[in-house]
C-alpha cells in the first residue's frame, strides 16, 4: 500500500501523528510519504529530517505541496491507497465555517482516510468494526474494501447495522433478555442480510454481523470501545436530517474510542464534488 501522512509542521503534535502513520504502514507492509502543504527551506529540511526517522523498509518520499491544506490533501488522494490526517479541530467561528481539517478532507476524498485516535494499532491483531447500511448501494464496495484492509492488517471484521428506534427501558434482567430476544426475532430478515454481507469476508478474517436499535453514530461510538479500527463511509445524510444530525463519519472521527478509517463511498460512481464548503 502507498500511504501519505499530512503533517502540519507549523503546529506541535505532528510527531504523534507520524508515529501512528508509521505503525499503520508497517503493519500493512506499505510505503509512507510525508506531506507538508506549504513552502520554505526550513520546512523542507524539517520534513526531510522526519523522513529519516521512518524505518527504511517503509520509507517513501518527503513532499512539499503548495495550496490550501485541505484542497491540496484532497488532490493527493487520487494517487494513494490511504491518507493519514489528524483529528485536530479549529475553534470558534472558524469551526462553524470550514469544519475540522479531517472532516473537510474526508468529505471529498478519493481514497480511504485514516484518522488515528489511539495507540492500539500495531500492538495486537486488530478488530475492525464496520458500520453498514443495508439500504445503500455502496455496501459491496464497503465490505470488499474493508476485506482488503483486514488482509493487510491481519484483522478480524465485525459488521453492525443500525435500525431506527429503541427498545423499552427495562431493569429486570429476565424481562430485558426476553425483550431483546423478541426484537432480534422480529428483525430476523435484516439480521440475515447482514450475515450474508459478512460472507464476502474471508473466513479467517470473519467476525460477527450485528443489528442494533438506535442512531448509527451512537451505536458506532459505543461499540468502538471494544474495537481497534472503526470503518465508515463518507456519504452524508441529506437535507434537514444532515443539518440536525450531521454525517456519521464527521461524528465518529471526533467521538470514537478507536482509530477511524473513512471510505470514499460518496465518490463511488459519482464525480468529485466541486467544493467542500457547499453546505
Closest listed residue to residue 114, CA positions, set 208, 25, 218:
25
Q: With contact defined as beta carbons under 8 Å apart, do 153 and 123 qualify?
A: no
> What pLDDT sits at residue 45?
96
> What pLDDT sits at residue 250?
81
Whether the predicted pLDDT of 246 surpasses 70: no
Closest listed residue to residue 38, CA positions, set 81, 74, 73:
73
> What pLDDT sits at residue 12?
80
pLDDT confidence bin for 88, thresholds 50/70/90: low
> What pLDDT sits at residue 115?
92
> What pLDDT sits at residue 239?
45
Q: What mean pLDDT value characterizes the chain?
A: 84
DSSP 33-96: EEEEES--HHHHHHHHHHHTTS-GGGEEEEEEE-S-HHHHHHHHGGG-SEEE-------HHHHH
Whether the predicted pLDDT of 89 surpasses 60: no
Which SS3 state, helix, strand or coil, does residue 175 take? Answer: helix
| Mean pLDDT value across residues 119-133 | 86
> What pLDDT sits at residue 35?
96
Complete domains list, the chain, with CATH: 2-115 (3.40.50.620), 127-267 (3.40.50.620)
Secondary structure element (H or E) that encloses residue 156, with its range: strand 156-163
pLDDT for 131-185, tens place per residue? Answer: 999 988 889 999 999 999 999 999 999 999 998 866 666 667 767 777 777 877 8
Share of the chain above pLDDT 90, in %: 58
pLDDT for 177-208, tens place per residue? Answer: 777 778 778 889 999 999 999 999 999 999 99
Whole-angstrom Cα Rg for the chain = 20
Whether the predicted pLDDT of 237 surpasses 60: no
Burial pattern 140-165, b for ≥16 Cβ within 10 A else e, equals ebbbebbbebbebbebbbbbbbbbee
Whether the predicted pLDDT of 245 surpasses 60: no
Whether the predicted pLDDT of 102 surpasses 90: no
> What pLDDT sits at residue 240?
40
Amino acid at each position: 500500500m502507498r500511504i501519505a501522512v499530512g503533517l502540519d509542521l507549523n503546529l506541535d503534535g505532528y510527531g504523534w501523528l507520524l508515529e501512528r502513520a508509521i505503525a499503520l504502514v508497517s503493519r500493512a507492509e506499505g510505503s509512507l510519504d510525508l506531506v507538508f502543504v506549504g513552502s520554505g527551506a526550513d520546512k523542507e529540511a524539517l520534513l526531510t529530517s522526519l523522513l529519516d526517522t521512518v524505518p527504511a523498509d517503509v520509507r517513501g518520499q518527503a513532499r512539499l505541496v503548495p495550496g490550501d491544506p485541505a484542497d491540496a490533501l484532497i488532490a493527493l488522494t487520487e494517487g494513494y491507497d490511504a491518507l493519514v490526517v489528524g483529528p485536530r479541530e479549529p475553534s470558534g467561528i472558524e469551526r462553524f465555517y470550514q469544519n475540522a481539517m479531517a472532516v473537510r478532507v474526508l468529505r471529498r476524498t478519493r481514497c480511504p482516510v485514516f484518522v488515528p485516535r489511539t495507540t492500539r494499532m500495531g500492538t495486537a491483531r486488530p478488530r475492525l468494526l464496520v458500520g453498514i447500511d443495508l439500504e445503500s448501494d455502496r455496501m459491496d464496495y464497503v465490505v470488499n474494501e474493508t476485506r482488503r484492509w483486514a488482509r493487510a492488517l491481519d484483522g478480524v471484521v465485525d459488521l453492525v447495522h443500525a435500525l431506527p428506534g429503541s427498545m423499552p427501558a427495562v431493569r429486570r434482567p429476565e424481562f430485558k433478555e426476553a425483550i431483546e430476544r423478541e426484537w432480534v426475532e422480529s428483525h430476523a430478515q435484516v439480521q440475515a442480510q447482514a450475515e450474508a454481507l459478512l460472507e464476502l469476508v474471508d473466513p479467517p478474517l470473519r467476525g460477527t454481523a450485528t443489528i442494533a436499535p438506535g442512531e448509527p453514530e451512537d451505536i458506532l461510538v459505543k461499540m468502538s470501545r471494544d474495537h481497534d479500527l472503526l470503518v465508515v463511509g463518507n456519504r452524508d445524510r441529506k437535507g434537514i436530517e444532515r443539518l440536525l444530525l450531521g454525517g456519521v463519519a464527521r461524528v465518529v472521527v471526533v467521538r470514537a474510542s478507536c482509530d477511524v478509517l473513512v471510505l470514499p463511498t460518496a465518490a463511488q460512481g459519482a464525480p468529485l464534488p466541486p467544493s467542500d464548503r457547499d453546505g
